[in-house]
Amino acid sequence: MSATLSTQTNAVETAEQSGAHGSGAGRPAAGGGRSDDSGRIGLRGNVRHTLALARRNVLLIRADPEQLFDAVAMPIIFTAMFVYVFGGAIAGDREDYLQYLVPGLMAQTGIMVSMSVGSAINADIKLGVMDRFRSMPIARSSVLVARVFTDLGRMLVSQLILIGFAMVLGLRIQTSPLDLLVALALICLFGTALSWIFLLMGLTLNSPQAVQGIGMLVLMPLQFGSSIFAPVETMPGWLQAFADVNPMSLVADACRVLVNGGEVAGPLTWSLVWIVGITVVAAPLAVRRFQRAV
C-alpha cells in the first residue's frame, strides 16, 4: 500500500511539473500554457496535461499490477465457463457456441473493464489526490480524459487476451483482419462512451464499493437481457422487445457479423448512434460534476 501511495505521489508530482511547464501561468499560448490571462488552458497545454496524467495512471498500474486482474483473467474465465458449462445446453455444439459467444463477450468484457474507471476516480477523491490536482495549473477536464485514455488501454489488452484465448479454443475469424479491427474499434468506442457514465457515478457516489455495486446492479439486466449469451429469438416477447433496442445487443450483433460474416450495416449504424448519444449526454455531465467536486 505504501509503495502504491509513494508511486502515486511521485506520479502526481510529475504531472504537476508537466502541468507547470505545459501550462506556464503568465506565458504565451505558444509555449503550450494558458491561452490568455483569464486562466484558460490552451489546446497544447491540455494535451500535455492529459498525457502526464495518463502516465501517472500507468505508473499506478505498474506499482499495483492487480489492477489488471479483471482485464487479464475475466476474458479467460468467462470464455471457458460459458463454452464448457453452457455451450452444449444452449447451442448443442460447443464449437458453434464459441463462434456465437466470443463476439458477445467482446462487448461484455469491454463494459466490465470500463466500470473500473468510476471506482478509480472515486478512490482518487477519497485519497486526497484531487486536492493536489486542484492546486495545479492544469485543465480540469484533462484528469477525466486521462482516466478514459488509460481505461482504453486496459480495454484493448482485455480484447486481445479474449480473442487470443478463444482462438486457442477453436475460434475462427471467418471474415478478414480488417473486419476484426473494426470490431475491436467498435468495442473500444462503446467502452469509452460507457466510461463517462461510470465516471459520473464515481464522482457522485460515496465510495468505490458503491460504484461497483450499483454498476453491477445496472449492468446485470442489460447484459443478460441482450444477445450476448443467447439468441434474442429464444426469449419471451416482452424481453425480445427490450433486447432488440438494448445497445449491448446491437454492439454484440455488430461484432458477431464482423467476426462471422453477414450484413453489418444495421447493427453497426445503431451501435454508433448509441455511442454518440451516450457520449454527448454523459461526458458533459461528468465534466461538470468533476468541476464542482474539485
Same domain for 71 and 42, yes or no, is no
Indicate the residue among 48, 63, 78 that finishes a domain.
Answer: 63
Indicate the residue among 63, 83, 100 that finishes a domain.
Answer: 63
**Residues contacting residue 46 through CB under 8 Å, at least 6 positions apart:** 139, 141, 142
Same domain for 26 and 129, yes or no, is no
Same domain for 44 and 74, yes or no, is no
Same domain for 39 and 56, yes or no, is yes
Same domain for 57 and 77, yes or no, is no
Same domain for 225 and 162, yes or no, is yes
CA 245 from chain centre, in angstroms, equals: 21
Indicate the residue among 63, 87, 113 that finishes a domain.
Answer: 63
Q: From first to last of its 294 residues, what are the pLDDT tens digits of the chain?
A: 444 444 444 444 444 444 444 433 333 333 344 444 445 666 677 778 788 888 887 887 777 777 677 778 888 888 888 888 887 777 677 888 999 999 999 988 888 888 888 888 888 777 777 767 777 777 667 788 888 888 888 888 889 999 999 999 999 999 999 999 999 999 999 999 998 999 899 888 888 888 888 888 888 888 889 999 988 998 999 999 999 999 999 999 999 999 998 898 999 999 999 999 999 999 899 888 887 766
Same domain for 99 and 30, yes or no, is no
Same domain for 122 and 201, yes or no, is yes
Residue 191 has phi, psi (to 5 degrees) of -65, -40
79: nearest Cα among 256, 190, 228, 248: 228
**Most distant CA pair in the chain, distance:** 69
Structural domain for 127, as ranges? 67-293
110: nearest Cα among 164, 83, 74: 74
Predicted TM-score (pTM) of this structure: 0.78
Same domain for 181 and 289, yes or no, is yes
Same domain for 114 and 248, yes or no, is yes
Same domain for 147 and 247, yes or no, is yes
CA-to-CA distance for 263 and 251, rounded, in angstroms? 14
Same domain for 286 and 257, yes or no, is yes
Q: Secondary structure of the chain in the HEC alphabet?
A: CHHHHHHHHHHHHHHHHHHHHHHCCCCCHHHCCECCCCCCECHHHHHHHHHHHHHHHHHHHHHCHHHHHHHHHHHHHHHHHHHHHHHHHHCCCHHHHHHHHHHHHHHHHHHHHHHHHHHHHHHHHHHCHHHHHHHCCCCHHHHHHHHHHHHHHHHHHHHHHHHHHHHHHCCCCCCCHHHHHHHHHHHHHHHHHHHHHHHHHHHHCCCHHHHHHHHHHHHHHHHHCCCCCCCHHHCCHHHHHHHHHCHHHHHHHHHHHHHHCCCCHHHHHHHHHHHHHHHHHHHHHHHHHHHHHC
Domain total for the chain?
A: 2
